[in-house]
Amino acid sequence: MRRAGLLVGETLALLKDSIKVGMRTDALDAIAAANIKRGGGTSNFKGYHGFPATVCISINDEIVHGIPGDRVIEDGDVVSIDCGAIIDGWHGDAAFSVGVGKVDPADQKMMDVCEESMWRGIAAGRLGAKLSDIGHAIESYTDAQGKYGILQEYGGHGIGTEMHQAPHVLNFGKPGFGPEIVVGMALAIEPMITRGTHKTKVLKDNWTVVSNDKSRGSHFENSYCIAPDGKPFVLTSLDGGREKLGALGIEISSLL
Ligand code: MG
Ligand code: MG
């Protein structure tokens, strides 16, 4: 899973470096497809329930599941990219949002809050914790930063020999419920928030999820596991989560 996760992390880093005002989103999709192939992986998105592309690209009021195409990225757009890959049957899944060009500070703050909430969710999902501790950490951090809508119909998930496995991981809720976090568990943690409502609808393409009030959204995701030494390791992060989890007082596993 580290091999698949690292390929996803590298592909997302490449996309973040490549994204520019004036670029079509299908050009970013082509970059992702070529990089996954180069790394010896295959896409778990392409063909998933008929999804036609290698990455999801969602812009502004599109929060997740946007389809790359002829849309051109404009100055100030908030662009969310979600990517996955399979190596030897094992899956990785991760996402980020980035402001392109001249970014509205309120958009940047939303993205920073979303990313930090993801790290706090992973930190809360330590050995011996309960599953709902993750969503509680995400929600309580987000709510303390301002008025954001946390999407409720979408959330994180188990990951392994399939991209989406049980359990579903809510991005909100009370702590102390659900299964215990144990060694060997692998979860994708993915908060999705907007600057307005948590309510969403799906566009006529049957994929793109947009906010009901047209407010802009953000999506960050990493896949992590609890390694045999009981410590977490972020499979889709280039440094395994060392820096970001370290800042929260969590030491990552040295086994991977
Ligand atoms: Mg994803
Ligand atoms: Mg996911």
Q: How far is CA 11 from the centre of its chain?
A: 13
Ligand nearest to the CA of 165: 2
Average pLDDT over residues 31-45: 98
Average pLDDT over residues 116-122: 98
Q: Quote the ligand 2 centre to 163 CA distance (angstroms).
A: 7
- Residues with CB under 5 Å of ion ligand 1 are 82, 93, 95, 221
Integer Cα distance of 115 and 138 in angstroms? 10
Contacts of 152 (CB under 8 A, 6+ apart): 170, 171, 172, 198
What is the reported pTM?
Answer: 0.98
The angle, 0 to 180 degrees and rounded to 10, between the axes of the packed helices 25-38 and 2-18 is 150
Ligand nearest to the CA of 55: 1
Q: 182 falls in which pLDDT band (50, 70, 90)?
A: very high
Q: Quote the ligand 1 centre to 98 CA distance (angstroms).
A: 15
Q: Quote the ligand 1 centre to 146 CA distance (angstroms).
A: 25
Interval 17-30: pLDDT, tens: 999 999 999 999 99
Integer Cα distance of 57 and 27 in angstroms? 11
Give me the pLDDT at residue 256, please.
84
Q: Quote the ligand 2 centre to 143 CA distance (angstroms).
A: 22
Residue ranges of E strands in 183-254:
186-189, 192-194, 200-202, 209-211, 217-219, 222-226, 232-234
Give me the pLDDT at residue 97, please.
99
The DSSP line for 62-131 is EEE-PPPSSPBP-TT-EEEEEEEEEETTEEEEEEEEEE-SS--HHHHHHHHHHHHHHHHHHHHS-TT-BT
Average pLDDT over residues 31-58: 98
Ligand nearest to the CA of 157: 2
β-sheet with 192-194: strand ranges across:
149-150, 192-194, 217-219
Give me the pLDDT at residue 197, please.
98
Q: Quote the ligand 1 centre to 193 CA distance (angstroms).
A: 14
Q: Quote the ligand 2 centre to 43 CA distance (angstroms).
A: 13
Give me the pLDDT at residue 71, please.
98
* Domains recognised in the chain with CATH numbers: 2-246 (3.90.230.10)
Average pLDDT over residues 188-208: 98
